[in-house]
């Protein structure tokens, strides 16, 4: 096992423009705390948010579209932010705290493009009153055609519906602080393996499973998988469980469920099978390899999902830990 210092995870204290920028395939929402401002309830601070994804098998694309965000402070004040067309450049999107004066410009993200440690920015340095906040919600579009939908292997596409209703959106109930004079910077991990289910009538449901991590306090686990473990018909993945010495299990809503999972893919450059589980808070984890990831239905206990190579790994902030199966 090897631990490598990673400059990509380093904490940065800098001024960031109040604009929206796409950077990859992750939904991240992070906070830079010590040294980047204080938690005073007076004044203002900057909020940066991005999104990432733990992948799912059997799909080519998973598109989720949303037209804005809602953020609620601990005092109950709610701020609504909208994605609008830039009045100076129709090809750009800006974030507005008022209803769009220019045409709305919803963001549609292919979450499958954000696996393996990639991320896409939703907010960058947006100015908000400093202080404690209670929750954040992505306002998702599901009523139209091809706003939020899945493209399965083979090319067929199906609309995604959210059982609780599109008006609920994707809500994350985790408190956070926007520090006075500083920048709050988090990542929201959208775990598709836990979130996408198929009903008996063939409808695709999106039951969002989100976690939020402090970008200043995260690391990653990466490594290779021996080709002998990737047998015929295999859908390989590495599952990550919180805590050392955990007996791995499939995703079924019963502890221990993995905190995240990572697909194993063939690196055409090196010819090796590789995986990367990113945005993990510092601490101890158990990782395990499975060849039956496609059989894992998050709604049931799948006895056919078996694991090998189970081991405990410690993650340190701002580093990448390597473990090979």
Per-residue pLDDT tens for 64-113? 888 999 999 999 999 999 999 999 999 999 999 999 999 999 989 998 88
pLDDT computed for residue 10 by the predictor: 41
Q: How confident is the model at residue 198 (pLDDT cuts 50, 70, 90)?
A: confident
SS (H, E, C) 193-249: HHHEEECCCCCEEECCCEEEEEHHHEEEEEEEECHHHCCCCCECEEEEEECCCCCCC
Question: In this model, does residue 21 exceed pLDDT 60?
Answer: no
Q: Indicate the SS3 state at residue 292.
A: strand
Q: Nearest-CA neighbor of 31 among 172, 212, 220, 171?
A: 212
pLDDT computed for residue 219 by the predictor: 96
- Residue 49 has which token pair? 């948010």
Question: In this model, does residue 291 exceed pLDDT 90?
Answer: yes
pLDDT computed for residue 113 by the predictor: 85
- The domain tally of the chain equals 1
Distance in angstroms (rounded) separating the CA atoms of residues 220 and 10: 13
Query: Across all residues in the chain, what is the average pLDDT?
Result: 83
pTM of the entire predicted model: 0.76
Distance in angstroms (rounded) separating the CA atoms of residues 199 and 91: 38
- Which of the two residues, 211 and 285, has the higher pLDDT score? 285
pLDDT computed for residue 259 by the predictor: 93
pLDDT computed for residue 58 by the predictor: 78
Q: Is the CB of residue 306 less than 8 Å from the CB of residue 292? A: yes
- Candidate ranges 58-67, 157-166, 205-214; pick with highest mean pLDDT: 58-67
Q: Write the pLDDT tens digit of every residue in 156-194.
A: 999 988 776 544 567 888 889 999 999 889 998 887 777
Question: In this model, does residue 31 exceed pLDDT 60?
Answer: no
Where residue 253 falls (left for φ over 0; alpha for ψ -120 to 50; beta otherwise) is left
pLDDT computed for residue 41 by the predictor: 53
Q: Give percent of the chain with pLDDT exceeding 90.
A: 46
Q: Which domain holds residue 74?
A: 2-322
Sorted by sequence, the CB contacts under 8 Å of residue 113 that are 6+ apart come out as: 24, 25, 61
pLDDT computed for residue 290 by the predictor: 96
Question: In this model, does residue 282 exceed pLDDT 70?
Answer: yes
- Candidate ranges 186-190, 201-205, 319-323; pick with highest mean pLDDT: 319-323
* Lowest mean pLDDT segment, chosen from 162-171, 198-207, 244-253, 262-271: 162-171
């Amino acid at each position: 096992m090897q631990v490598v210092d990673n400059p990509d995870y380093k904490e940065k204290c800098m001024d960031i423009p109040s604009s929206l920028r796409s950077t990859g395939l992750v939904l991240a929402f992070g906070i830079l705390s010590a040294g980047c401002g204080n938690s005073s309830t007076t004044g203002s601070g900057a909020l940066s948010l991005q999104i990432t994804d733990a992948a799912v098998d059997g799909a080519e694309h998973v598109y989720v579209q949303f037209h804005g965000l809602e953020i609620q402070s601990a005092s109950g004040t709610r701020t609504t932010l909208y994605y609008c067309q830039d009045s100076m450049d129709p090809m750009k999107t800006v974030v507005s705290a008022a209803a769009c004066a220019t045409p709305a410009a919803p963001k549609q993200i292919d979450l499958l493009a954000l696996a393996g440690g990639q991320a896409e920015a939703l907010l960058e340095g947006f100015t908000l009153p400093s202080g404690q906040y209670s929750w954040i919600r992505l306002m998702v579009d599901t009523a139209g055609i091809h706003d939020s939908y899945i493209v399965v292997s083979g090319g067929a596409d199906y609309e995604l519906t959210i059982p609780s209703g599109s008006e609920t959106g994707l809500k994350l109930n985790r408190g956070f602080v926007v520090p006075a004079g500083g920048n709050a910077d988090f990542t929201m991990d959208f775990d598709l393996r836990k979130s996408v289910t198929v009903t008996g009538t063939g409808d695709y449901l999106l039951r969002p499973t989100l976690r939020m991590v402090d970008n200043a306090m995260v690391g990653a686990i990466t490594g290779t998988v021996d080709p002998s473990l990737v047998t015929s018909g295999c859908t390989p993945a590495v599952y990550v469980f919180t805590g050392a010495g955990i007996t791995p299990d499939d995703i079924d809503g019963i502890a221990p469920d993995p905190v995240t999972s990572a697909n194993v893919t063939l690196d055409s450059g090196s010819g090796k099978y590789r995986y990367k589980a990113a945005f993990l808070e510092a601490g101890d984890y158990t990782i395990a390899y499975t060849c039956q990831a496609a059989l894992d239905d998050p709604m049931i206990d799948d006895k056919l999902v078996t694991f090998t190579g189970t081991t405990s790994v410690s993650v340190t902030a701002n580093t990448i830990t390597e473990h090979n199966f």
